Amino acid sequence: MRKFFTVFLIIFCIAAISRAQEPGIQPPSSWPALTASLKITEPLDFCGEPTDLGSREVRERLEKELLLTIWDRPQVILWIKRSTRYLPVIEQMLKENQMPDDIKYIAIIESALRPHAGSRKGAIGFWQFLKSTGEKYGLKINAEIDERRNIFASTRAAIHYLKELYQIFGSWTLAAAAYNMGELGLESEIVSQKTNDYYQLYLPLETQRYVFRIISAKLIFKDPERFGYRVPETDLYPPLQFDRTHIECFQDTPIHIIAQAANTHFKVIKDLNPEIRGHFLGAGMHSLLIPKGAANGFHARFKQLLKGWLAENLERVYIVKEGDNLTAIAERFDVPLPALLIWNRLDEDRPIYPGDRLVIYPHKVGSDLDSSPAD
């Protein structure tokens, strides 16, 4: 066992050295000393509100979060690489709403700028909204759409929420703390402890760390090389580029039709519109992002493709018979059960009944398919 471990360690070291020689990748020997990273002499603030580094206790709390952050090098590198894709959107919306630019760092520590980030408590998206809070601030959240994953809608909701918190507490630092723990909880602690100084409040441990995590992210983004992060501009992820289009769906419409009309793939539409859940758009008006340049002729293509899809569906309807079940139907037509569920937006655990009509795309259309239109 010891021999195996020694061989593994040698191979790992050789791979690490080889990787370190690639352009833009630094070997560990070139990283700044951790103690040097903690030598912060310049004044610090969050949204213009000073952080008292003269307090040994405050400095200790900041050093802890800064060390934990800079040591998680893969995560920070991904922060930096994603920042060019999403931060320009957030920065512009903050500017338009006369909000401090530092607010953007909340999204970084909340989700690492990942649209599908989720927590054990059920918080989702860039700004980690719970369902109840997201709906309160105008986000559409249902089985078909979850706007917590939409960078524009969720940032608009976060701005609204944080503005209200600032009006309540008169401090962006306290507003950030309330964003983490809830305004009622923070108000109660302020009243009980007889102070409204975030740095002197005894709060839930996560909230006591929260603003220091934000400031740590701010420090790194202000001067990445100081902390050993040298990410070449060519390695940064490209900014969002898109055309925005509006379509009205009169019934559930498959996303692959939208992708074809936009001359792209299903995955591209889902990536540009992470708020869409599943394989269909529900009935109603939708604002969608499509690849840059795809808007020209999109609606004509969409109309034609949708017409063809509807006609095809009318010819591929199977009427459920007594004794049928989904597994047996899938086997009969030699199609995957998951595909059958997707085509008909079904739940495997939901029963089907005689007379139900299912759309099926078998390899060969058999006589069991009913050619009459579905109701």
In this prediction, residue 28 carries a pLDDT of 58
Percent of the chain residues topping a pLDDT of 70: 86
pTM for this one? 0.80
288: which 2 tokens? 């969608």
3-state SS assignment for residue 327: helix
Q: What is the four-CA torsion angle of 124, 130, 133, 139, rounded to 10 degrees?
A: 30
In this prediction, residue 366 carries a pLDDT of 46
* Domain boundary assignment for the chain: 43-235, 242-314, 317-359
Among candidate residues 94, 95, 78, the one with its CA nearest the CA of residue 224 = 78
Give the DSSP H or E segment for 312: helix 298-314
Is residue 103's pLDDT more than 90?
Answer: yes
| Spatial distance between the Cα atoms of 265 and 175, rounded to a whole number of angstroms | 41
In this prediction, residue 88 carries a pLDDT of 97
Distances in whole angstroms, Cα of residue 143 to Cα of each of 55, 124, 277, 347: 49, 14, 7, 12
> Binning pLDDT at 50, 70 and 90, where does residue 307 land?
confident
127 and 110 Cβ atoms separated by less than 8 Å? yes
What is the chain's mean pLDDT, rounded? 87
Distances in whole angstroms, Cα of residue 256 to Cα of each of 214, 260, 262, 268: 40, 6, 10, 10
Tell me the mean pLDDT in the region 114-136. Answer: 96
Is residue 163's pLDDT more than 90?
Answer: yes
In this prediction, residue 12 carries a pLDDT of 46
Q: What angle, 0 to 180 degrees and rounded to 10, lies between the N-to-C axes of helices 73-96 and 205-222?
A: 90
Report whether CATH 3.40.50.1100 matches the domain 317-359: no
Least confident interval from 35-49, 123-137, 289-303: 35-49
Q: Give 258-299 pLDDT, tens digit per residue.
A: 999 999 999 999 999 999 998 889 889 999 999 999 999 999
Least confident interval from 50-54, 96-100, 166-170, 173-177: 50-54
Residue 145 sits at φ, ψ, to 5 deg, of -135, 135
Higher pLDDT residue, 49 or 368?
49
C-alpha count within 13 angstroms, C-beta hemisphere, residue 84: 13
Q: Give 326-372 pLDDT, tens digit per residue.
A: 888 888 788 888 888 887 778 777 788 887 777 777 665 444 555 43
Cα 268 to the chain's mean position, in Å? 15
Domain 43-235, CATH number (from 1.10.10.10, 1.10.530.10, 2.40.110.10, 1.10.1060.10): 1.10.530.10
Give 126's DSSP letter: T
Is residue 23's pLDDT more than 50?
Answer: no
Percent of the chain residues topping a pLDDT of 90: 63
In this prediction, residue 368 carries a pLDDT of 52
Tell me the mean pLDDT in the region 228-242. Answer: 93
